[in-house]
Amino acid sequence: MSEIQGKNIVLAITGGIAAYKTPELVRRLKDQGANIRVVMTEGAKAFITPLTLQAVSANPVSDSLLDPAAELAMGHIELAKWADMILVAPASADAIARISNGLANDLLTTICLASEAPLVLAPAMNQQMWRALATQENIERLQKRGVTIWGPGAGEQACGDVGPGRMLEVVELVELSVGFFQQSGIRALAGQKWVITAGPTREAIDPVRYISNHSSGKMGYAIAQAAARAGADVTIISGPVNLTTPTNCERIDVSSARDMHKHALSLASQADIFIACAAVADYRVAEVAEHKIKKTDDNDEMRIELVKNPDIVADVSKLNDKPFTVGFAAETQDVEKYALGKLTRKNLDLIAANNVATEGQGFNSDNNALTVYSKDDKYPLPLTSKSELASQLVNIIGQQFTKRQ
């Protein structure tokens, strides 16, 4: 279970166009199990309504320091004490300046001053306002005081400028929040290098066609995210997927099984742990046509000759300095028998087996169930989200790896 579960976060929203992203931020933080109370400045209310944020947070929104009714419900000091973290997102240049100067001229700045909770700012402003010496000095001063600054990102801005000043994306803020609480817990995998293959491979038939499979890459990416959160140095060798790279992970994009094999073999000998989560095509086209293959009128059949691809995980486990190696077995029948067969045949340390014929789990689904086997042990991990399952799996891998050291 993630450390953010049950944590109290005050989300303080200031006036900036990025405020339109905050309802989604609230939803995603709540998905992670956090309790959210929203504080808004007057400026924030010009961009987004308190009613929206009340609805998504399922809590009243606080927006005034001097409202007797609100003070009676949960006063500003109470709110400041309730918080395990105060996240100011978006943090405008004005809010940054006021917080940095220790002002208490509205509810937001008063709570920042009155709370012992860690303070995190996600700046969002025009690139020139961000670059301005006044803003930079304020940021530096805040950092010296131990305030955490997330972002800003760079790119196209609402005003049309391009440069630094964009609020980080919601997924990034959620990931950083989860990691923030994790840091105060155990970073059990600090110093370990994990290499993970993920997603499908594509085997070209001609310049426009290929053979592939339904792997979404979600399981491999969830494992990468869980390992990175626990402090591991993670590289994903990724087939073509539609996923964003998890925070603090390196990603190498590949297409074919041979591409993936080349990168895996070059990285694996420096890795502590290698996880083969990719759905690698077992065969590739013997001779890839140089030009698009044309349909012919005189023949209703077409034959493509296939040859075997290298087995990436089996080759990794043959290395002299073999990392702790984990494979996956996606089966439609006799799951345990086939999984144990692969464990031995591919010389793996662990194998995670799942039944992809079962509705609602496996390929492309957000949920999965696995049974993890070593030579001597068996760990059933029942159906849950891929993200939760990945945390459980990463724990088992981490423990088994330490046991072998």
How near is the Cβ of 21 to ligand C5P at its closest, in Å?
A: 36
Q: Of 79 and 264, which has the nearer Cβ to ligand C5P?
A: 264
Contact between 267 and ligand C5P (CB under 6 A)?
Answer: no
Residue 155 tokens, joined: 């790119």
What pairs with residue 276 in β-bridges? 197, 327
Separation of first and last alpha carbons in the chain: 26
Please tell me the distance from the alpha carbon of residue 286 to that of residue 301, in angstroms, as a whole number.
18
SS3 233: strand
By Cβ distance, which residue is nearest to ligand C5P?
A: 312
Q: Of 124 and 316, which has the nearer Cβ to ligand C5P?
A: 316
How near is the Cβ of 355 to ligand C5P at its closest, in Å?
A: 13
Please tell me the distance from the alpha carbon of residue 333 to that of residue 166, in angstroms, as a whole number.
49
Residue 259 tokens, joined: 């591409």
User: Is the CB of residue 71 less than 8 Å from the CB of residue 61?
Assistant: no
DSSP string, 128-150: HHHHSHHHHHHHHHHHHTT-EE-
List 227, 257, 393, 394, residue binding ligand C5P (CB under 6 A): 257
Task: Go through 137-161 and write b for each residue having 16 or more CB atoms within 10 A of its CB, e for each that does not.
Answer: ebbeebeeeebebbbbeeeebeeee
List 92, 309, 325, 391, residue binding ligand C5P (CB under 6 A): 309
277 is catalytic: no
Contact between 313 and ligand C5P (CB under 6 A)?
Answer: yes
Tell me, residue by residue from 195 to 224, as one string, x for binding to ligand C5P by CB under 6 A and - for no binding: --x---------------------------
The residues in 314-343 that bind ligand C5P, with binding defined as CB under 6 A, are: 327-329, 342
How near is the Cβ of 330 to ligand C5P at its closest, in Å?
A: 6
Contact between 397 and ligand C5P (CB under 6 A)?
Answer: no
Contact between 3 and ligand C5P (CB under 6 A)?
Answer: no
* Residues near ligand C5P (CB under 6 A): 197, 257, 276, 278, 280, 282, 309, 311-313, 327-329, 342
Active site residues per annotation: 159
